[in-house]
A and B are shown apart, each in its own frame.
Chain A
Amino acid sequence: MMARVFGWMMMAALCGCGRTDYAHEMAKQGILLLGNGSDPKALDPQLVAAVGDANIMRALFEGLVAHDPVDDNRVEPGVAERWESNADHTEWTFHLRDTARWSNGDPVTAQDFVYSYQRMLEPNLASPYASMLYFLKGGQDYNEGKLTDFTQVGVKAPDDHTLVCTLELPAAYFPHVVKHTSWLPVHRGTIEKFGTMTDRFTRWQRPGNHVSNGPFRLKSWRLYHSVVTEKNPLYWDAEKVTLREVRFFPYDTYTEARAFLGNRLHYTYTLPAELIDRGEHPSWLRMESYYGSYYYRYNTDRPPFNNPKVRHALALAIDRKAIVESVTRANQEPAYGFTPPAQGGYVPPRVLTFDPERARALLAEAGYPGGEGFPGFALLMNTSEAHRAIAEAMQDMWRRHLGITTVRIENREWGTFQSNVIKQDYDVARAGWIADYLDPLTFLDLWRKDNSNNNTGWSNPNYDRLLAEAAVQPTTEARFAKLREAESILLAELPVLPLYWYTRTYWLRPEVKNWNPLLLDHHNYKYLRLEP
């Protein structure tokens, strides 16, 4: 074996640089190599919650409505060929195509969707994203165990190819909502072959057992190595799928960058700030708007953060532009509100600026002139170089502009960090929210009083009222107006410290075609092509 290795090395050395372009070779074979950030937690659409996992789900499964390859503001027929709603958008009817198939040949029926949604809402399954299905009438009650008869929940299959969803509140944007991973169907027969509906980790997810209805099916899954999916020949639109395989790799940020530079990947999940300027191949670099908000939460139950003046002072003393230009350097937009603005859509009120004068004045009014006597507090974040750089910049800005020298930066493992935030055991904690669907409500809903993602101790009855009123407005403009009013309240009281709105920065090789910038980054793999 050693001889063979030696021979290989000699050959490699003799081939000049010895660099075979692995990625190019793979492209020739129609195999797409994607960096995916981390190993998936599960390959079961009802059990995943992370962005990377959702990417894999989108390759394996298809929902009622599919992702448009060019614009996340548009929708495309998926398993449903068409749909319509009643006048006030509380009832939606989806008409399923009869050519849709599971990867084992079974037809995809409306009952599959009913089963899947019930499974999602079953309390015993403990799905992390069950709350997405609270749009359905009775969904929340069923999930919380207050309702035990699923036939009372607002989803019905009058026949094999018709699905009727009755909503709790009007939602004209409902087709956008059902694009989300949590609305994907699962194959009942497979699930029940390996366990009951609510068994959490059965072997149905394994290669060989896995059945899905999307453009690809599962070929292999090796922890810390890769998830390999291959073209699903039984997919109803299989002739449009040109890729042979899509492989997802869980490398961490710097390893991924090296892998890309060494021609092992076609796409990186992310890109560290300092590599952005590395100019080898400028055509590789993509920087696109991403519908998400990077911010910090204040624990408004803990002094001095129970004082809105303090919260404002700290927020106004941060030079967001400098952070975005010098620290993160990925063309992010400094935030002037909380919800990211969407082109031609919702734009938040312009409130936040960098105003150190006013910040100092507010701090003095709050009783800490020049930062004197300001109690020590911790800036909590989950372990990450990127977050640390930003936190250090903020720490320094508060020292310089407000005279506050008592800030500690504490990083915690993700699990501990989440735990602290959920228990509201923090002073100021880092947060990020990527939209689940393309509507400002996904951002503003966070701060409703009983939203389990709030975790700041802040609530405002007027805010909640305005959100509820927005739901029943007749037009989108009226709805957005109410939402803006609500956001004004949020920005006046500032239980959060918005920093910037995300961009997605990554490297993509030129062989990958039809990969368009998308606000939610929900690429429809069926349309991707590799042209070496």
Chain B
Amino acid sequence: MNAEPQTQLEAVPGTSLGRDAWLRLKRNRLAFACLWALAAMVSVCLGGALLSIAGVLPNPNENHLDRILAPPGHGYLLGSDALGRDIFTRILFGGLVSIAVGVVATLVSTIIGVTYGAVAGYVGGKVDAVMMRFVDILYAMPFVILVIVLMSLFGMNLFWLFIAIGAVEWLTMARIVRGQVLSLKKQEFIEAARSLGLGHGSIIFRHLIPNCLGPVIVYTTLTVPSVMRLEAVLSFLGMGVQPPNSSWGTLIKEGADRMTTSVGLLLFPAAVFAVTLFCLNFLGDGLRDALDPRGAKD
């Protein structure tokens, strides 16, 4: 009999929850395509911005009053707007602003919402009831009003725009996280952590919140389009990004007003905006499917 083993056991690469989810996401071709599309969008915007700073593409904020509302051509890829500025570069820069607003405001609202919800769920009892009442109150107010008042209070610049939008969008996230924490905190590993003497903060931030990550991530990708839409509405009200900077929201508003004379002003930014939201939504769907294997049967 041979003393050597017949075959070597092949080393099986270890896997984690994250990797599993990533693989599932890759299998969802549409969602994955959207991820790439978004990445491409951001790169093009960044690249275009750099090219513009370097002088290869025109400056998006420079007026050329002698060349207003020009059709595509003569160095204007998509034509010029009512002050003679290049639409293409404005869309690129505007994209950076809109995406930045989307990401940062979402981040702000996620941080606020997750912390608030986790604390409320963990502490429970009267404190939880009061905290949730406050959420109810904010929920029952029209968002736009809150943002209008907040921005007139603090200022119309980009920084306060992030804060104001973030301050309005955190509510649902808080509710979701609270719900998760409520069910999680009864589980054994939390009891174990407590009996080990871990402080509350530790428990919340290192044990509870990481376990909520699934729904939080999914909801975050759904918040970004919601935030971007809110920014667009604010631009309609004249309260969004201030000139000469542009965002997709302001570009769409300018275009919608001048629709009868120059339809390109509206169509190009609106198309880009719609496609981005489209991709974000599909991506969110894909993430939800990837992170939650139950729903992905078949």
Contacts and interface: CB of A to CB of B under 8 A. Distances in A.
Whether A and B touch (Cβ < 8 Å) is answered with yes
Interface of A: 254, 272-275, 277-278, 322-323, 325-327, 383-385, 388-389, 391-393, 395-396, 408-413, 416
23 contacts: A272-B258, A274-B82, A274-B257, A274-B258, A278-B261, A322-B65, A326-B68, A327-B82, A383-B238, A385-B254, A389-B82, A389-B83, A391-B243, A392-B83, A393-B65, A393-B83, A395-B244, A409-B243, A409-B244, A410-B156, A411-B238, A413-B148, A413-B152
A389 B254 CA distance: 11
Contacts of A396: 61-63, 83, 244
Given A391-B243, A395-B243, A396-B62, 16 more contacts: A254-B257, A274-B258, A275-B261, A278-B261, A325-B65, A383-B237, A383-B239, A385-B254, A385-B257, A388-B243, A392-B83, A392-B244, A395-B244, A396-B244, A408-B242, A411-B238
A84 to B, nearest CB: 52
Contacts of A384: 238
Interface residues of B, number: 25
Interface in B227-277: 237-239, 242-244, 254, 257-258, 260-262
Nearest to A276: B261
B93 to A, nearest CB: 15
B225 to A, nearest CB: 26
A278 B242 CA distance: 28
A239 B254 CA distance: 48
B145 to A, nearest CB: 13
A385 B254 CA distance: 8
A392 B84 CA distance: 11
Contacts of B254: 385
A383 B69 CA distance: 23
B66 interface: yes
B85 to A, nearest CB: 9
Nearest to A393: B63
B243 A326 contact: no
A277 B257 contact: no
Contacts of A389: 82-83
Contacts of A325: 65
A32 B148 CA distance: 37
B261 A277 contact: yes
A272 B65 contact: no
Contacts of A274: 69, 82, 257-258, 260-262
Contacts of A393: 63, 65, 83
A391 B238 CA distance: 14
Contacts of B68: 326
A465 B198 CA distance: 81
A392 B63 contact: yes
B65 A326 contact: yes
A274 B259 CA distance: 10
A231 B185 CA distance: 75
Nearest to A407: B244
A274 B63 CA distance: 16
B83 A327 contact: yes
A369 to B, nearest CB: 23
Contacts of B148: 413
A322 B64 CA distance: 10
B160 to A, nearest CB: 12
B266 to A, nearest CB: 12
B260 A278 contact: yes
Nearest to B153: A416
A325 B238 CA distance: 25
Contacts of B242: 408-411
B66 A326 contact: yes
B150 to A, nearest CB: 13
A323 B63 CA distance: 11
